[in-house]
Amino acid sequence: MFTMMNHARLNVGLEGVGIAERAYQRARAYALERVQGKPLLSGSTTIAGHPDVRRMLMDMKARTEAMRALAYFCAGQMDRAAGHADAQEREQALALVGLLIPVVKGWCTDSAQGITSDGVQVHGGMGYVEETGASQHLRDARITTIYEGTTGIQANDLIGRKLAREGGRTLKALLGRIDGDARRLAEMPDAALAQIGGVLAASARALGDAADWLLAHDDQPAQCAAGAVPFLRLAGTVIGGWLSARMAEAATAQLAARSGDAGFLGAKRATASHYAAHVLVQAPMLRDIVTGGAASTLALADDQL
């Protein structure tokens, strides 16, 4: 049912998640012990009190949590495709796995590069000192975008075999689920969840617009391929944002029921809000690159490059 390559690509995506998580842990530990300058945040005595350092740490944390959720969601669909009692459910899950595999492999490893680079930046000059390990994470993340199929190969697979071949049916079904959750969250009295829901709804529309453009221009393969990697990044950003929103909703419900670790659950809400405000809002930009960026990408002749 599942090819060895699908498993390999899922595992490489998870490798990106693991490297990103370790880079975050190391950067967080360093930021909480390194004293330099005058922190602007009250209660902080280390560089963790500098807002830009806090921004990088929050980006690392939010992106990694979304990546992990996407990889685990895909793995869960693999289980449903293999073992669900209903044949139709198995078929739908199998189609969803096919759509998600290139996104997990491509987006999680691509994102890991940015996360590990931020880890070096948090360390400042110490990021280049081998004893810190920060630069090793960046080197480790770099190779993950190459083996088992480069990011470009994953992206072309996504827009070709996974999107165009079935007319976008599986993606549109997934977007229906995302849009339904987004609209429900946007109408909630909880201000944080409503804000996340509003951004998620706009990002889902952006992904749908980009998919529609690719399907409408299927007879122009070069133009579509020029936007393939931005489309893959858009898909990962939106689906990861959807799963992040679901985590925030679940955390809110547990807090209301006074169940679980309140600090952990509160952090889940804050992380999801940060993802929506800093990452998910990039979806319309990525859509515009997919739908309007091909002309400049392909403008120069070989001897002009």
Grouped pLDDT means (10 residues each) for the chain, 305 residues? 81 98 98 95 95 98 98 96 92 96 98 98 91 94 95 97 95 98 98 98 98 97 98 98 98 96 98 98 98 97 97
Give me the helices (H) in the chain, please. 4-31, 51-83, 87-123, 134-144, 151-157, 169-186, 191-216, 221-226, 228-256, 262-278, 283-292, 294-297
Question: 4-149 — its CATH code?
Answer: 1.20.140.10
Q: List, in order, residues 6 or more apart from 294 with CB less than 8 Å away.
A: 222, 223, 224, 226, 227
CB 271 within 8 A of CB 250: no
Question: Residue 146's Cα: distance from chain center in Å?
Answer: 18
- 61, exposed or middle or buried, with CB in 10 Å at 0-12, 13-18, 19+? buried
Which residues, at least 6 apart from 11, have a Cβ–Cβ distance to it below 8 Å?
A: none
Residue 33 annotated in active site: no
| pTM across the whole model | 0.96
The amino acid present at 283, given as its one-letter code, is A
Contact predicate 169/211, CB 8 Å: no
Q: Helix axis angle, 228-256 relative to 51-83, nearest 10°?
A: 90
Task: Report pLDDT for 2.
Answer: 56
Give the pLDDT score at 4: 81
Catalytic residue selected from 15, 148, 166, 249:
148
